[in-house]
Amino acid sequence: MVDKNWTFEEAWAAQEAAFESDPSSIDDPASPYRQWQALHQLDIFEEAYKKDPFYLMQAIGVCALHGLPLPPWAVNAYLKGYNKIADAESKSWDEVFGMPYPKGVRLSVLRKERRFKHAVYDEISRIKKSQPKVAIDDDLFEKVGKKFGLGKTLTSEYYYAVKPWREIFKEAFQKTEYID
């Protein structure tokens, strides 16, 4: 059983042990390291849920993907919403769990963002790691954007949208040589 209180080294050791017994487990979302990451992600979702009820759906998705039980906050939130529907206090799931997307959102724009934003961040991080003196500026955004068929402004927006999340995860997972 994965323990959220493990250090990074303990989680990685459990991952390596799982890999030794089953090499195909390296990409398994239910592998020890991936579950450990997911448990920390659920803490972030719990806080985000207080502002946006749709994070409950994301928490349920993370638990389903990684083979984890729902944390108590998610169980309580789900049952509260479910009971509002079951007791005819609310008309729709959107009313109790939040709309998945705000009115007027273009799904094609969201798909593009989801496809490229982490790739943009990873590419900029790779460049900075190999060339530490390179400035994170319009020139870099233009260069990276060309690689993905994006303009420099959108590339910049994607980079800065991901950066705070990556910093949260760095802190949560302890900075090691395994995490950029």
Half-sphere exposure of 151 (CA within 13 A, CB side): 2
Q: What is the mean pLDDT of residues 133-153?
A: 96
Query: Are 73 and 17 members of one domain?
Result: yes
Q: In this structure, which long-range contacts are made by residues 48-54, counting pairs with CB atoms below 8 Å and at least 24 apart in sequence? A: 49/73, 49/77, 52/98, 53/77, 53/81, 53/96, 53/97, 53/98, 54/97, 54/98, 54/99, 54/100
141: Cβ–Cβ under 8 A, 6 or more apart, which residues?
152, 153, 155, 156, 159
Tell which of 65, 97, 129 closes a domain.
97
Q: Is 1 domain-assigned?
A: no
- pLDDT tens for 146-163 read 999 999 999 999 999 988
Is 72 in contact with 65 (CB distance < 8 Å)?
no
Q: Is 28 domain-assigned?
A: yes
- pLDDT tens for 81-118 read 999 999 999 999 988 888 888 889 999 998 999 899 98
Share of the chain above pLDDT 70, in %: 93
pTM: 0.67
Number of domains in the chain: 2
pLDDT-based confidence at 132, cuts 50/70/90?
very high
Show the domain range for 59: 8-97
Q: Is 133 domain-assigned?
A: yes
Tell which of 77, 97, 117 closes a domain.
97
Query: Are 123 and 143 members of one domain?
Result: yes
Query: Are 112 and 53 members of one domain?
Result: no
41-55, 62-76, 84-98, 103-117: which is most confident: 62-76
